[in-house]
Amino acid sequence: MELGTNFAAKLEPFLLISKSAKGAAAAKLIRDATSAPGVFVFAELLELPNIQELANNEQHAPFLSLLQIFSYRTYREYLENKDSLPPLNQAQTTKLRYLTVVTLAAERRILPYYLLLQELKVESIRELEDLIIDAIYLDILRGKLDQKEQQFEIEYTMGRDLEPGKLECVLVALHNWATTTASVLAELDQKLTEAATHNAMVHADNEEHERIYVANLKEAQERQKDTKGGRRTAPFGSSNADNMDVDDPCLDGPKIRNRKAPTDSMVKLQQRKRNRF
């Protein structure tokens, strides 16, 4: 659930009463609404004709200004104009401090303690941290207190009423945000497309490398088989078989297996020896 979703419902009883409240009754209604627990938005009450009529009454006009302070201004601005505004009770003071933190959070995400102490006019860090913790429990804002760094890190806040004349600024800010977001998304889409293309190319390269590797491995295995087969059997009619003379009686002896076949010169030499005898 978003922060502040039930705040408008808290204002409903005061809107019903305001239909018949005029003058002093309308001024009292403003005091009651700004003091009531859980009421943090006031735009609908501020826009009512009975409330706007207080601007024409010198006695009750300060209450209309007070309602404007609670609607979209800060505690510091109240203190700057407090001489012309009704005094605040404790409930109003605490509520306006809560709303001031929301306004400051719209300008910066990290709020240093020194800035909060200056804007909220609290006397100690302990009092400041208690105030922020109470605001968190009331669903006015969310964040983390960093006591080491002396700062409050904002995560979310409720939305405050929009000050008259600020609508155009908000629209411009939203337009700029939409343009920036669209540009970032387009850039991300391009990066994703490039990444997908790169991954496809890498996948194709890996498949081609795997195919070549398997083919080379298969070829190497076939060559290895052929080589081993040639060593096991000598082909018929090889040089070793041609050099063997099966009719030579000299080949019967084991010691003459490697003797060379007799040449013509050796045969003539043997005949000469025989002729001598």
pLDDT band of 162, cuts 50, 70, 90: confident
pLDDT value for 101: 97
Rounded CA separation 55/59 (Å) = 9
pLDDT value for 195: 94
HEC per residue, 219-251: HHHHHHHHHHHHHHCCCCCCHHHHCCCCCCHHH
Q: What is the pLDDT of residues 196-207, one digit of tens each?
A: 999 999 999 999
CB neighbours of residue 202 within 10 Å = 10
Q: What is the pLDDT of residues 75-101, one digit of tens each?
A: 999 999 999 999 999 999 999 999 999
CB neighbours of residue 155 within 10 Å = 12
Whether the pLDDT of residue 122 is over 60: the answer is yes
For residues 71-75, give the mean pLDDT: 95
pLDDT band of 2, cuts 50, 70, 90: low
Rounded CA separation 158/231 (Å) = 90
pLDDT value for 267: 53
pLDDT value for 224: 86
Whether the pLDDT of residue 4 is over 70: the answer is no
Q: Name the CA dihedral angle for 70, 96, 92, 146, rounded to a multiple of 10 degrees.
A: 160
pLDDT value for 177: 85
The model's pTM: 0.66
Mean confidence (pLDDT) of the chain: 84
Angle, alpha carbons 161-70-90 (nearest 5°): 145
Whether the pLDDT of residue 34 is over 90: the answer is yes
pLDDT value for 239: 47
When mean pLDDT is compared across 65-74, 164-173, 189-198, the lowest value belongs to 164-173
